[in-house]
Amino acid sequence: MGIDLRQVGSGNIGAANTLRTLGFFPAFLTFSFDFIKGFLPVYFSRAFPMDVRSLVCLAGVLGHDFSPFLKFKGGKGVATSFGGIFALDWKIGVIVLLSWLVVFAIFRIPSVASLSSLGISTIVSIFLGGGFFLVTLILFGLCLIRHRKNIEKLKSGEEKPIRLTGRGQDGDGI
């Protein structure tokens, strides 16, 4: 395609900017690969105690967010967090993914859905247990930090929803 996502739209390499810039299928692939990036290392560490697996999850998200391959600039870690959480406990992972879908269906703003679902992961990990509350809290905090520009846009009313009408940049739809 010859498009550098770091040069278009929000400049982010994640699924939301891919969705706005290139459309659904490339965004689905981006989400899938980022999810797998979080899922596989945690899944393959399942023989270790939960605290080790939680550190593996956190390391995967940090590696995504601050990629040495991209001069320590990366994505926002949402899909990678989802993958890691899903590998830590599939029940919590399903709740987190469903909460993202519900919030996105209501507001059509990926940052609102991302922040909400990772906040929910922290709450759900308390009630369903699993022993990884601290990692979900850290992932939520990291998500807040990585979304600080989006939060400012939300406060000022500049954060645009994604309309499902055609493909375009900066919230013009897909």
Task: Output the CA torsion 7→10→94→166 (10° steps).
Answer: -90
Q: Which residues contact 68 (CB under 8 A, 6 or more apart)?
A: none
User: Is residue 147 over pLDDT 90?
Assistant: yes
- What is the pTM for the complete model shown? 0.90
Domain boundaries, the chain: 5-156
pLDDT in tens, 148-173: 999 999 999 999 898 765 554 444 33
pLDDT of 14-63, one tens digit each?
898 888 888 899 999 999 999 999 999 999 999 999 999 999 999 999 99
Measured in degrees and rounded to the nearest 5, phi and psi for residue 164 equal -95, 60
Query: CA 85, CA 35: separation in Å to the nearest integer?
Result: 10
- Both tokens of residue 76? 């926002």
3-class DSSP assignment, residue 166:
strand
Q: Give the pLDDT confidence of 69-109 residue by residue, as tens digits.
A: 888 888 899 999 999 999 999 999 999 999 999 999 999 99
d(CA 61, CA 74): 10
